[in-house]
Amino acid sequence: MNIPQSSFPRVIIIGGGFGGIALAKKLAKKDVQVVLLDKHNYHNFQPLLYQVSTGGLEPDSIAYPIRKVLQGYPNFYFRLAEVLEVDTSMRRLQTNIGEIQYDYLVVATGSRTNFFGNKNIAEKGMAMKTIPQSLNLRSLILENFEQALLTDDLHERDALMNFVIVGGGPTGVELAGALAEIKKGILPKDYPDLDTRRAQINLVQGGSRILPAMSAVASTKAERFLERLGVNVWKGIRVTDYDGKLVSTNTDTSFEACTLVWAAGVQAVCLDGLDSKDFLCRGNRLRVNEFHQVDGFEEIFAIGDVAQMESEPYPHGHPMMAQPAIQQGQNLGENLVRMIEGKDLKPFIYRDKGSMATVGRNKAVVDLPRFKFQGVFAWFVWMFVHLYFLIGFRNRVVVFINWVYNYIRFDREARLIIRPFKKQYQVNGKDKVTI
Ligand SMILES: Cc1cc2nc3c(=O)[nH]c(=O)nc-3n(C[C@H](O)[C@H](O)[C@H](O)COP(=O)(O)OP(=O)(O)OC[C@H]3O[C@@H](n4cnc5c(N)ncnc54)[C@H](O)[C@@H]3O)c2cc1C
């Protein structure tokens, strides 16, 4: 990998997400050699992926080059590499660009979409976890409207304009709100020769309320905001199958829709060699102690979505969100330096700063530890927080200008089919393909 030997211990971080970047920043100018490996050369700000999928933002405004984050840090090396296996006995990694030894290893590989073993949904449904997936979804949404214009079959036209979003967490709620705004503000102008009032946005939630991780008042308000926008909120039903057009559920309800977005679960990305039943928990997370050390290892750590730190307030680990990942990265950064200096380690204590979700163009729900509020003010808070945590000054400016422009003009100008997405669906038993 062309990385020089150093007198400093080598810390390898796998993953330049929220956790990995926070850790790398903490290790800047410390007496360690840091090697950051990621299969992408950019950090992906996942909370705004739904805006890429719905043409509100270009992908380059929510992605940031990892090399730029590390610019000016001595003893830092980034390699664009996918880690394939960990050899814990030899302290060595196998990657798609070669092998590398570590003194300390930090796994910060995040999570991926969990289809819970449903192959049909995995094949025919859409995930929204990465930038390429969001671009696929953006293309598919736009292609379906183009296709809807061309067909004479009313059933097919409806199916092309129907959306089923599975999962009533923040991702599902935010996507449903954005699609509803598109239906209201953009489709009638873009497609005057299509009856876009027939487009349906269905949000399907298995549990008894949407936003189950937030307060009851946030759930109720978010549902009311969505319904006012014209979203059909279905609660207490589970999607069981999808053939590319027909969405089946565990009840008599079914939907004809050429777009199904699966936002109903994630599982940690675990690596070969670090997949022992001794420390692998539900959802593939790695069980760690309060110092982020993976069970049974002193020199291997896990942070973020991939780590499960069980404690009294969090018996199943911390929520798979950006804040725990950032705070864990910062804590581990301090602890690694302390460990190398032979000092006592500081146990991790999570400071819950709250959670929030936006619904449509000017409403949000916010749960802070001491206050809960909803509506337009909550939306301003949501905007400020997202701009604050977005990496890169340019990205903040571009996103802010886009938001102001979209708000004033009721527009989303990134509705471009740059890279067409081909998807099969069935009409009267015959296979068809989107444009
Ligand atoms: C659509 C969506 C919306 C979200 N909204 C919110 C929100 O509003 N608020 C919130 O707090 N959280 C939100 N989250 C969750 C949040 O993004 C994650 O909890 C957070 O990104 C976890 O950080 P992480 O560092 O553990 O992993 P990630 O940020 O996922 O980073 C993991 C990194 O590891 C790399 N990687 C993985 N495997 C390998 C490998 N084998 N080799 C090399 N590199 C590898 C990946 O390329 C990636 O860069 C959202 C997530 C999604 C998908």
Over the stretch 66-117, which tens digit does the pLDDT of each residue have? 999 989 888 999 999 999 999 999 999 999 999 999 999 999 999 999 999 9
Q: How far is the CA of 39 from the centre of ligand 1 (A)?
A: 13
Does residue 354 surpass a pLDDT of 80? yes
Closest ligand 1 atom number to CA of residue 128: 1
Cβ 21 under 6 angstroms from ligand 1: no
Cβ 168 under 6 angstroms from ligand 1: no
Cβ 269 under 6 angstroms from ligand 1: yes
Burial class (CB in 10 A: 0-12, 13-18, 19+), 8: middle
Q: How far apart are CA 176 and CA 19, in angstroms?
A: 28
Nearest CA to ligand 1 atom 23: 18
What's the rounded mean pLDDT across residues 222-242? 97
What are the start-end ranges of the E strands in 282-363?
A: 286-288, 300-302, 307-309, 355-358
Over the stretch 104-141, which tens digit does the pLDDT of each residue have? 999 999 999 999 999 999 999 999 999 999 999 999 99
List 174, 299, 310, 334, catalytic entry: 174
Q: Which of 107, 126, 84, 82 shows the shortest CA–CA distance to 423? A: 126
- pLDDT category of residue 407 using cuts at 50, 70 and 90: confident
pLDDT of residue 313: 93
Burial class (CB in 10 A: 0-12, 13-18, 19+), 273: middle
Q: How far is the CA of 107 from the centre of ligand 1 (A)?
A: 12
Active-site residue flag, 174: yes
Over the stretch 3-39, which tens digit does the pLDDT of each residue have? 999 999 999 999 999 999 999 999 998 999 999 999 9
Q: Which residues contact 288 (CB under 8 A, 6 or more apart)?
A: 294, 295, 301, 302, 307, 308, 309
H/E stretch holding 224: helix 216-228
SS3 state at 109: coil
If you write DSSP's letter for every residue of 165-183 in order, what string do you get? EE--SHHHHHHHHHHHHHH
Q: How far is the CA of 11 from the centre of ligand 1 (A)?
A: 21
Q: How far apart are CA 168 and CA 173, in angstroms?
A: 6
Q: Residue 91: which region, alpha, beta or left (left: phi > 0; alpha: psi -120 to 50)?
A: left
What's the rounded mean pLDDT across residues 309-337? 96
pLDDT of residue 435: 57
Q: For residue 313, give the amino acid letter.
A: P
pLDDT of residue 434: 66
Cβ-contact 304, 324 below 8 angstroms: yes
Q: Which of 193, 204, 208, 205 shows the shortest CA–CA distance to 259? A: 204
| Helix 170-185 vs helix 216-228: crossing angle, to nearest 10 | 20
Radius of gyration of the chain, Cα coordinates, nearest whole angstrom: 23
Q: How far apart are CA 134 and CA 140, in angstroms?
A: 10
